[in-house]
A and B are shown apart, each in its own frame.
Chain A
Amino acid sequence: DVKVTQSSRYLVKRTGEKVFLECVQDMDHENMFWYRQDPGLGLRLIYFSYDVKMKEKGDIPEGYSVSREKKERFSLILESASTNQTSMYLCASSAGQVYGYTFGSGTRLTVV
């Protein structure tokens, strides 16, 4: 089975801090995605990547950046954390849109 591993399950950070969320997949998938999920708002796509060094903005990229230096690793960066970035962050990977996504277990980030 594909495994998508997110480095932290719970994270508490202070306003203004730079925050790194790490995601690693072990099935050589080309495609990786970062979502946030908030009650009543569903899954919202932040950034995605179809290849190493490649990144594309999703629906809500403001305040975030990403890095994909290796195929298996896709990092989400909050440049200066704010309280409205408190959320559940979900990483996903895919061999192609026909196959669906496999999600990591999520990181619940609280910014205080």
Chain B
Amino acid sequence: QKEVEQNSGPLSVPEGAIASLNCTYSDRGSQSFFWYRQYSGKSPELIMSIYSNGDKEDGRFTAQLNKASQYVSLLIRDSQPSDSATYLCAVSGYSSASKIIFGSGTRLSIRP
């Protein structure tokens, strides 16, 4: 079992709709959770972080965390063509020496 699992996609969503990206993780001790956006040929960019159960909203983005189910999701409202990218889920553990573990990413395509 991979430590951080994501569906590779591609996930195709019509413009203006809600895009829902999902991620599961295996380490129950995980404490910090991140979503990165990566455009083709570019480096990953941190767009959301979440640390406690529930929802965290930032503009059109909402991160959701359920530690009991070991599940993290990212919702993108009013999807735009500029949201087309690969989204990486990343998770880190309790210890300060813990590295961040990245999922392999979900490719999102917003169709006009």
Binding site for B on A (CB under 8 A): 33, 40-43, 45, 48, 50, 58, 90, 94, 96-106
Q: Which of B26-72 contact A (CB under 8 A)?
A: 31-32, 34, 42-46, 49, 51
- The reply to whether A42 and B99 contact each other, CB–CB distance below 8 Å, is no
12 intermolecular pairs with C-beta atoms under 8 Å apart: A33-B99, A50-B97, A97-B32, A97-B92, A97-B93, A97-B96, A98-B32, A98-B92, A100-B46, A100-B100, A101-B44, A106-B42
Chain A residue at minimal CB-CB distance from B93: A97
A interface: dominant SS: mixed
A100→B102 CA distance, assembly (Å): 11
- The reply to whether B98 and A103 contact each other, CB–CB distance below 8 Å, is no
B100's contact among A42, A101, A105, by CB below 8 Å, is which?
A101
For B103, list chain A residues within 8 Å (CB): 42
Nearest Cβ on chain A to B36's Cβ, whole angstroms: 8
Which of A50, A98, A104, A106 has its CB near the most chain B CB atoms (within 10 A)? A98
Nearest Cβ on chain B to A64's Cβ, whole angstroms: 16
A98's contact among B43, B51, B99, B105, by CB below 8 Å, is which?
B51
Binding site for A on B (CB under 8 A): 31-32, 34, 42-46, 49, 51, 88, 90, 92-93, 96-100, 102-105
- The reply to whether B92 and A42 contact each other, CB–CB distance below 8 Å, is no
B43's contact among A96, A99, A105, by CB below 8 Å, is which?
A105
Nearest Cβ on chain B to A34's Cβ, whole angstroms: 12
Contacts known (A98-B31, A103-B43); A45 close to B99, Cβ less than 8 A: yes
A105→B49 CA distance, assembly (Å): 21
- The reply to whether A96 and B88 contact each other, CB–CB distance below 8 Å, is no
- The reply to whether B32 and A106 contact each other, CB–CB distance below 8 Å, is no
For B44, list chain A residues within 8 Å (CB): 43, 90, 101, 103
- The reply to whether A42 and B42 contact each other, CB–CB distance below 8 Å, is no
Nearest Cβ on chain B to A77's Cβ, whole angstroms: 21
- The reply to whether B43 and A100 contact each other, CB–CB distance below 8 Å, is no
For B88, list chain A residues within 8 Å (CB): 42-43
